[in-house]
Amino acid sequence: MPQKPTVQSVAITPVKNQEPKLNIESVVWGDLTWVNIEKPTQQETEYLAQHYPFHALDLDDTLSRIQRPKIDEYEDYVFIVLHFPIWHRETQVTTATQVSIFVGKNYVVTLHSGELRLLRELFQNCKSSDTALQENMSKGSSFLAYRIIDVLVDRCFTILDRILGWADAVENAVFDENIEAAIELANLRRDVIAQRRIIWPLRSVIGELESKLHRFATADLEVYFGDVMDHLNKIWDTLDEVKEIIEVYKDTDYILSTDRLNRVMRILTVFTTILMPFLIVSSIYGMNVFLPGGQTPGNTVSFWVLIGLMGAMTGAMLWYFRKRRWI
């Protein structure tokens, strides 16, 4: 029979009420401990340095926001840095949030910003439910790490469904003359690029996890991590498909916009052509020169001089346009 699970909260007794409580929680099943830290600070990493054989550079990486996804393998543990997409509804922008995972023989330590709701729910389920605790932690630390990563990867499908719905809405906007689709296309394209920037390095890291965590596993995890890779490949293929759709929509929107502009220009050209004789007559007789037919009769020589001058200017412009191959 497995040992009864226990839940722990770690805190350092304040000295003269100056040191705040550490934001560290843990849950234990048998000899396996899962330590979860949300919004880690220097104090939490100092606590980990005192109780675990973690390298100082790895602990610094957990506090850094510029780390790339990676795997660092040591004699006693494996350090994993992963990024997952977060959708901000207010700004309609996708950003990456970092999850750092230490995996040893008898422990798993997760450090994250707290933005990943499913990770928080997984830990809370393990705290409150013996069934969830046994399901996730009874097969060793490597399997627990797999469960954490699997939950976070599956969460990406929610964001992917939103992108597909967004793509359908953009398609309707492209063929609706009353909607400006260019801005929506640009926003969707920016979001897809952000997703691809996050998913691409994630695939290479997770592809190596099974071989790195094999020494801590009590069962063969190749099938499990293979399933995670299948999900990531599906996500990547869908993002590629949406990227191609965006390119098609962009070209379609450009063609339709050009066609609408040409129709408007055609109408304006007709009006301009109709008004051109009036403009010519009014411009000639609006000059301060006495011309035949005017209120004050003038010499016909002035009239033909003006006509010749305008003709020469028109011919010079036609010659220049022809030389530049504009016509």
Mean pLDDT of 292-306: 69
* pLDDT tens per residue, range 254-283: 777 777 888 888 888 777 777 676 677 667
Mean pLDDT of 61-66: 82
Same domain, yes or no: 191 and 303: no
State the distance between the two ends of the chain, measured CA to CA, in whole angstroms: 90
Q: What is the mean pLDDT of residues 76-83?
A: 94
Domain count, the chain: 2
pLDDT on residue 153: 93
Query: From start to end of the chain, where are the E strands?
Result: 6-10, 24-29, 32-38, 70-73, 77-88, 93-104, 107-112
Looking at the fold, whether 187 and 304 belong to one and the same domain comes out as no
Per-residue pLDDT at 16: 44
DSSP sequence for 67-104: PPSEEEE-SSEEEEEEEEEEEETTTTEEEEEEEEEEEE
- pLDDT, residue 6, reads 52
Look at residue 17 and give its three-state secondary structure. coil
Domain range enclosing 317: 285-327
Q: Which range among 103-107, 126-130, 264-268, 295-299 shows the weakest confidence by mean pLDDT? A: 295-299
218 alpha-carbon distance from chain centroid: 37
146 is a domain residue: yes
Q: Looking at the domain assignment, is residue 52 inside a domain? A: yes
Mean pLDDT taken over the chain: 82
Answer yes or no: do 215 and 304 share one domain: no
Is residue 320 one of the residues assigned to a domain? Answer: yes
One domain for residues 41 and 109 = yes
Judge whether 269 lies within some domain. Answer: no
| pLDDT of res. 318 | 79
**Does the residue 122 lie in any domain?**
yes
Rounded percentage of the chain residues whose pLDDT exceeds 70: 85
Residues 178 and 235 grouped into a single domain: yes
Last residue of one domain, picked from the residues 220, 242, 257: 257
Q: Residue 56: helix, strand or coil by DSSP?
A: helix
Residues 108 and 160 in one domain: yes
pTM for the model stands at: 0.73
Q: What is the mean pLDDT of residues 142-155?
A: 93
Q: What pLDDT digit, counting tens, does each position of 210-231 carry?
A: 888 988 888 888 899 999 999 9
Residue 2: the pLDDT is: 46
Nearest by Cα to 140 from 45, 2, 286: 2
Q: Are residues 48 and 86 in the same domain?
A: yes
